[in-house]
Chains A and B, each alone.
Chain A
Amino acid sequence: MAALTPISRKPMSLVLPTVAAAGGFFGLFVGTANGSGLLGVLIGAALAVVLALVYVSVLKNEALSKWINIALFGVLGYVFGGGIAPAIIGLVYGWFIHWFTYWLYEGRYRARLLPYLTPGQVLWHYSFRVICGAIFTFLITPILVVMPLSFNAQDFFTFTPEMLRLDPAGYSLKHYQDFFTNNEWQRSFKNSLIIAPIATVISVSLGTLAAIGLSQSHVPGRRAIMAVMISPMIVPLIISATGMFFFYSQIGNWMEGTLGFNKTFVGYVKVVLAHAVLGIPFVIITVTATLVGFDRSLTRAAANMGANPVTTFFRVQMPLILPGVISGGLFAFITSFDEVVVVLFVGSASQKTLPWQMFTGLREQISPTILAVATILVAISILLLATVEMLRRRSERLRGMSPS
């Protein structure tokens, strides 16, 4: 579909006003920042129009003019903005306005659209993309903002003047160093790595079995059972936390007193069980969703060929619902790995998890170490997401679907 629409050069009567508007829009901000918005608009628009005319009718070399334009605005930014940051903004703007000019002039904006669209529809198509872009920016900006702050040379969540000037003195790796050398952070990280996987394994194994049970056709009281199992997700956390505190204290007393287990071990058991309960709704929901699309004739075929139910489960059913199980497991893992309210109540200090340490870090000693941890975790998240995506593609291959 992509190359179907023939593209043609557009008249200057369309290109110049649009480019002028874009130039003026940018000029408005530069202008207001320097005293006069109106002057900024006029200069910005004029500059954009003149450059567009020069590149398109005189220079006639797209690659060359691109570099000229980028360099030009970079220099302008550096000279008038006075610093590296404005220069970078200038470079980006130079690239953008050049790309925009040619995109309009050559009619490239039509290339990937259906040929019969009216100009209004084309305009809406691109406005819609811009709106979506803005929403994606909203989603991702907070995370992008904390990343540079994790390299802050100071112990506050503040962009210092040195950082804004991109001065190397304003940056340091000391918060990363703190994370890797500080005992408290290391211990809580380790605790999270112990607690989250075990809790995940419990909720995934019990949850998957129950989801398979629930997906059978004749289950008495299905709705009620489902409601009970989803309930950890819908009860406000603070209530779950206090309720579980009293319950697990008694369980803990019993395990220590009657069974004679070690206090630390019992502490882990309590937190693991509490987190397992919280993760269960996610497993139930995702696995049930996969089972809805499950072709029942496959198990019958397996049974027909002499496989017993256990073999059928592990060799036929399991590989097919595995993506659902894994994505449920990841949700359960994240639930435990990001959970602070319940662990604050149920856990004791030797089970301090990463979010707990972050929480006290935020309350008692605001320190960008938590941002360093967050940055590391974002990197890990990206790896996990890549894994999920690979698994998804594998599952599609297994089911013989073509990627949509």
Chain B
Amino acid sequence: MKTKLTALAVTTALVAPAAMAQEMTIVSWGGAYSKSQLKAYHEPYTAKTGVSIINDDSSAEAVAKLRAMNEAGNVTWDVVDVVAADAMRLCDEGLAMEIDPDTMLAAAPDGTSAADDFGDLLVSECFIPQIVYSTTFGYRTDLVGDTPPTKICDVFDTAAYPGKRSLEKRPINNMEWALLCDGVAKEDVYDVLATPEGQDQALAKLDTIKDDVIWWSAGADTPQLLADGEVIMGSTYNGRLFSVIEEQKQPVAMLWDAQVFDLDGWIIPAGLSEERQKQALDYIMFATDTQRLADQAKYISYGPARKSSAPLVGKHADLGIDMAPHMPTDPNNAKNTFLYNYEFWADYRDDIDAKFQAWLAK
């Protein structure tokens, strides 16, 4: 059986002509998110063109791997799903291809150009936005007492809410929240964070809860910690919390206060052969049109990045509930939001990351 399989694999591999680009590798985050892309983009695309799509769940290491591939001159990925900050970094280093929204992306059904339809969300020349997500907090309804947390600063209040909380093992978002709760006005946060004193101030605030924090690095960590009751509250992506609350029916609720909006989308690696680049662009043109983006919201609670997709968002494919109230952009959820500053983090990421990691290891 085994030898038969092997022989089969070897012969099919050798026989298949090398030139045909009937297969493409798309890199994404895995889990429910990849599944939503599979349903909304990959399956219809394969049905339409016959190109088979291989999923690679390596987005978490995308920057490192793309740089290594580029250096080795062997880029094996065709389209990569990354967060906006990573896209900007890849673009700056020449590892991603520049995109012209007007010729390479589909216009909206009413004729609005793609550039206008995406609007401000086109934060980098190489980046095609796909979803708006937010990083926010979830808490265990049965472990926070009678007065559930309503403000972001309740995360820093270990007296009122004793217990562990989970935070992401990186400075982004945590530093902003720390400053907000240390009395810095919302509009001044990034000015303060640009100074070494401001960075120390944020770390000093984080120091007050350091003993109560479990640091997470993978998207699945906080949902698991909440389900176990290991933490009473924790930061994660809103789609993960939706799945914990609505699909898994865990005693968890959302704390939308000071949620940080961020973007996730596609880039095409630089250095692809002409043929593969054409293939990748064809996929991008298809997968980021108005209907496709709206379709994705049927499977996961992230907001589509096109304005024209918003009215088309319908009900969850399995649960049949309305998806609009679960979107981070819904007016009820977006009463107090925090705008992630891409330029700031592109400039200061290396600096603050070094400091944060040293602080963490202390």
Contacts and interface: CB of A to CB of B under 8 A. Distances in A.
Contacts of B65: 345
Contacts of A193: 2, 5
B173 interface: no
Interface string A54-98: 000000000000000000000000000000000000000000000
Contacts of B228: 156-158
Nearest to A350: B54
Interface in B27-72: 27, 29-34, 54-58, 60-61, 65, 68-69, 71-72
A264 B16 contact: yes
A180 interface: no
B14 interface: yes
A265 B14 CA distance: 7
Interface in A248-304: 249-250, 252-253, 256, 260-265, 267-268
A365 B220 contact: yes
B5 A190 contact: yes
B159 interface: no
B18 interface: yes
Given A264-B16, A348-B56, A253 B72 contact: yes
A245 B9 contact: no
B76 interface: yes
Interface string B244-255: 000010000000
User: Which of B17, B74, B224 has the most chain A CB atoms closer than 10 A to its own CB?
Assistant: B74
B361 interface: no
B25 A349 contact: yes
A157 B248 CA distance: 13
B18 A154 contact: no
Interface string B1-28: 0100110011001101110000001010
B129 interface: no
B281 interface: no
B68 A245 contact: yes
A360 B13 contact: no
- Range class of the B interface residue count: 35 or more
B220 A265 contact: no
A158 B25 contact: no
A361 B32 CA distance: 11
B219 interface: yes
A349 B6 contact: no
User: Which of B13, B17, B56, B71 has the most chain A CB atoms closer than 10 A to its own CB?
Assistant: B13
Contact of A262 (B6, B13, B77): B13
A362 B220 contact: yes
Contacts of A366: 220-221, 223-224
B115 interface: no
7 contacts: A194-B6, A246-B72, A249-B68, A249-B69, A262-B14, A345-B68, A366-B221
Given A265-B13, A364-B33, 18 more contacts: A154-B227, A156-B223, A157-B228, A158-B227, A193-B2, A242-B68, A245-B68, A253-B73, A261-B14, A261-B18, A265-B14, A268-B13, A344-B58, A349-B55, A349-B58, A362-B220, A364-B218, A365-B31
The 4 A-B pairs of least Cβ separation, nearest first, read A365-B31, A349-B56, A249-B72, A364-B30
Interface of B: 2, 5-6, 9-10, 13-14, 16-18, 25, 27, 29-34, 54-58, 60-61, 65, 68-69, 71-74, 76-77, 218-221, 223-224, 227-228, 248
